[in-house]
Chains A and B, each alone.
Chain A
Amino acid sequence: MKNKIEKIILASILLLSVINIVMVASATVQNAGLSGFWMKQIFAVIVGLLVMWGIRNISYELFLELSPVFYALSVILLVTVLIIGKDVYGSRRWLNLGFLNFQPSELAKLSSIIFGAYLIRKKASVIKITLSFLLLVILVLVEPDAGTALMFLPAYLGVMLVSGRDIRWIFIIAPFTLIVVLTLFTESYININQSSLLDPFYLLIPAVITAVLYFVMYELKKVNRNIKFFNIITVILLFWASWGIGIAGARFLKDYQKKRIVSFMAPDLDPLGAGYNTRQSILAVGSGKFLGKGLYEGTQTQLGFLPVRHTDFIFAVIAEETGFLGSVAVIFLLGMLLWQFIKVIERSEYPAGKMIVSGAFMLILIQATVNLGVTLGLLPVIGIQLPFISYGGSGVIMFMALTGIVLNINRQTEIIGI
């Protein structure tokens, strides 16, 4: 039993790292501008593994105590990147450190989890904790990098869900906030195309949702006595209120503001070539069939049809060149890794440790799921990387560091010997 979790985690990480390097090499071999990327990736993976092993041997308590420093550093770097960051396609995400480009938002994700656990231990109020996350979210949003900003949510949820704090409010506020944001965005988007959510056709959507809400809650009411008819009405009214606020908000905006919102929230949503990236990605994945076309043989990848293939769409390369077998293997490895995280959460007696592992678990799970969902055409294009697989040193090293902390928490649990 001893160290089994650690062994599986290490094995998964090593295999994922190999896949990472090979697939980055395959994705960049045809592009002269990206030559040498696989070498950089080997370097990043080695650094990441060393960092992971180093952190494994240092008590996470140290990081917990130092987390305000990390947090402060993250905020400073996020502000710095806004001022002197490298401008890529109108977005400032990277700091040029000469020999490599560093992405402060990755450090911010890591520090947010540890600092969140730290604040909970310090008995900070939920509002204070929430604000600490929100500050980072806002700083990343203005880069702008909506995809990464979105990833603070699972991290936050991961930490809070095992904190023992009452966060039921989040399950009430979050959905309605989401509805307001989504409605605002959708209304802005379809307003540009001379249409409105107030059109009779679109009014079907809230009508159907209302019916579903009523039905589901009515059924729940039979099981759970705490649910009153009054609750059902409240939920439905809240839903319509959020829907209305979203539309009203959008109507209040000028046309250029709407366009700005659309391009801000979904920079990849290109109205002319709508769905080009997704289409090419699905073609790549589907055409891989069971065994794939072979490494370096994927036509979608090698001929350049697949966009941003070494980062956001790296999984499409895997699916095309190694087929269903290879794709499922990658998912299995990620699943194995996350399964061990769950075990650590369940077994750890350290509340702060639990929170950190839970935050790490949620971050990796949701980021992976969103990335795969985009690649497989289940989600709109949101630009985020696949943990442990996508090209990018900052991301790989951050996720390895996070795993290092998980390994340490696991090790301390083992030492106590539960």
Chain B
Amino acid sequence: MLFNRYYSIGTPSKKGYSWPRLLLAVLFTVIAGRLLYLQIIKGNYYWQRAERNRIQNFFIKAPRGRIFSRKGTNLVGNQPIYSLLLATEGLDSKIKKQLAGKISKLTGRSLKEINRGFDLKEKQPFGVVEIISNLSTEEIMKIEESSHYLPNVFIQVNSRRKYPYGDNGAHLFGYIGEVSREELSARRSGGFKLKDKIGKTGIEKSYDDYLRGSDGFKKIEVGVKGEHRKLITSRPPKIGNDIILTIDWDLQEAAYRALGDRAGAVVAMEPDTGEILVWLSKPGFNPEDFTLPFSKARAEKIFHDPKHPLYDRNIQGEYAPGSLFKVVTALSALESGKADPNTEYTCRGSIRIGYDRKLYRCWKNTKHGRLDLKDAIANSCNVYFYQLGMETGVDIIRDMALRMGFSKKSQEIFDYENTGLIPSASWKKKKFNRIWYPGDSANMSVGQGYVLVNPMQLLKAFSAVAASGKVLKPRLVKMILSPEGEVIEKREPIVEKTLDIDKKNLAFLKKAMRSVTEYGTAQYLNLNMDVASKTGTAENPHGEDHAWYAGFAPVENPRIAVVVLVENGGYGSVASMPVAREIYKAKFKEKLNEK
């Protein structure tokens, strides 16, 4: 029978077949041990990694809030920009080449430019790269028409910061840029990510927390080819809040036009509210240059421009105030009793001061003759003030200057203010190891010598005079609105302090400043209204004199105080006063037309 036959060929080992048992046990133990390691010991680790494998985070950029003038002019906004993206997953170089050719043909852009985007991708083998960062509407249409032939290519909308007024107000708005590593570590709680945009200067920086929205995200389950399978969770982006500035854009534009191409600074504010109406510094820059993709050449050009366009002259510029400082000298003399309105000195065109009999000149060669304080201010007589200053002394003048806010920060909006210098005898001793000469007092009393101020400090001081001693905190922001238009915050005037100065003396000073406009150095202002003015011409060791103007109007219940600086402008009455005139004209348009 077929079934029961067997052949005893071959001699099985006598030891039995222990090797199969051993082999089976060893191999399967290794397998089971590996399973134990992967699934039990490292299970959580691999589980998380598998989750990361399947879930991709997509951030949705939140547009920044917009910035408006007090009357609703949109000063800073956002513009959608369209970029062409490529999903690189699973594309070989041949397909890439074909795609580059097609895109180049469609857009008319050079193959070189397209390939630059493709090359970038080589560094990140998986994911999405930007090929073109600024698609035009025409290009978008062409690409969408032939999207069928462009696999893996898609268009993404981003928003770019838009500054429609170019360099006008650039220092006020500031600019945005990618968050730096320092900012990242300093404000980790703020939910920043690398590559996020953050305000670097100006309002963009100071009010970044309000302007910057919070990015939304989508957690999406993706398949192996990156295809979206389902939405797991999402949070919509929260648009940043809008900011209504105190700036009156009509006045700002008037100042911008009047200043023209000259370097300088113009600030104006409401003396009784502290609301800043004009904030202009020139030369400026276009903040949009910082929103474009970083270009080293462009950055070099801006950062190393000898004219310092990034410099906000309103608070970073330190200048000799020239004759504007005579207001401080006069006030200190009056308050200390060293002089009264009737105190007279004689001007013979110049005066010899000190042991060395050094000659100090008045600003004009003709003699002013005998003058009282009011006329001395009206005519800006240096010789009068040399004598008054020496009589009053450095300490008293300095004390008044400090009380009026010089040598310290004039505002809390921007943290990069330079505070200037009000000298003292001890300061000079320390700095130059020289004693304080009477000539130093003479120089100081006309705002020359060591005195350095910035335009904003001057504005604050003149506003205090205008507001009869009340010092208002300068403010740039009137309101903060939610994206839906609801008022989130409303900023009210804050009285910083009230100068402890005799009202009589302030009233006299106003009267004296009015006479400057009526028959003094600002008589050609020539406006049909009461304006208090003071002009100044500050000697500048580096070149042509700086031209100053400070003033407010109307004299009673002033609505605006203005400070104008024209660098190397020459006479204040010639270079700076006309700029202020344009601001007054814009401010009191209706009123002036009535008359």
Contact = CB atoms under 8 A, between A and B. Distances in A.
Contacts of A280: 53
B20 A358 contact: yes
Interface stretch (B203-211, B221-229, B501-509, B538-546): B221-229
Contacts of B222: 303
A300 B53 CA distance: 8
Main DSSP-derived SS at the A contact region? helix
Contacts of B19: 161
Interface in B23-57: 23-24, 27-28, 30-32, 34-36, 38-40, 42-47, 49-51, 53-54
Interface stretch (B6-14, B266-274, B579-587): B6-14
B229 A303 contact: yes
A10 B282 CA distance: 93
B43 A121 contact: no
Given A361-B20, A378-B34, A290 B40 contact: yes
Contacts of B6: 349-353
Interface in A118-140: 120-121, 123
Given A61-B5, A162-B12, A350-B6, A345 B20 contact: yes
A15 B2 CA distance: 33
Given A345-B17, A351-B10, A283 B50 contact: yes
Interface residues of A, number: 58
A342 B18 CA distance: 9
Main DSSP-derived SS at the B contact region? helix
A283 B10 contact: no
Nearest to B20: A342
A201 to B, nearest CB: 28
A62 interface: yes
A133 to B, nearest CB: 17
Of the four ranges (under 10, 10 to 19, 20 to 34, 35 or more), the interface on chain B belongs to: 35 or more
A374 to B, nearest CB: 11
Nearest to B39: A324
Interface in A75-113: none
B26 to A, nearest CB: 10
B16 interface: yes
Given A59-B3, A287-B49, A365-B24, A162 B39 contact: no
A262 interface: no
Contact of B46 (A286, A373, A378): A286
A282 interface: yes
Given A324-B36, A346-B16, A346-B17, A303 B46 contact: no
Interface in A288-313: 288-290, 299-300, 303-305
Contacts of B50: 283-284, 286-287, 299-300, 305
B34 A354 contact: no
A114 to B, nearest CB: 14
B5 to A, nearest CB: 6
A371 to B, nearest CB: 10
Interface string A332-349: 001100110110011001
Contacts of A362: 20
Nearest to B5: A61
Nearest first, the 6 closest Cβ-Cβ pairs linking A and B are A286-B46, A287-B50, A289-B43, A304-B224, A164-B10, A164-B11
Given A299-B53, A303-B54, 17 more contacts: A120-B9, A162-B12, A164-B10, A280-B53, A286-B46, A287-B50, A300-B50, A304-B223, A304-B225, A324-B40, A328-B35, A331-B32, A341-B20, A345-B20, A349-B6, A354-B10, A372-B31
8 contacts: A61-B3, A286-B47, A287-B50, A288-B43, A299-B50, A328-B32, A339-B24, A412-B4
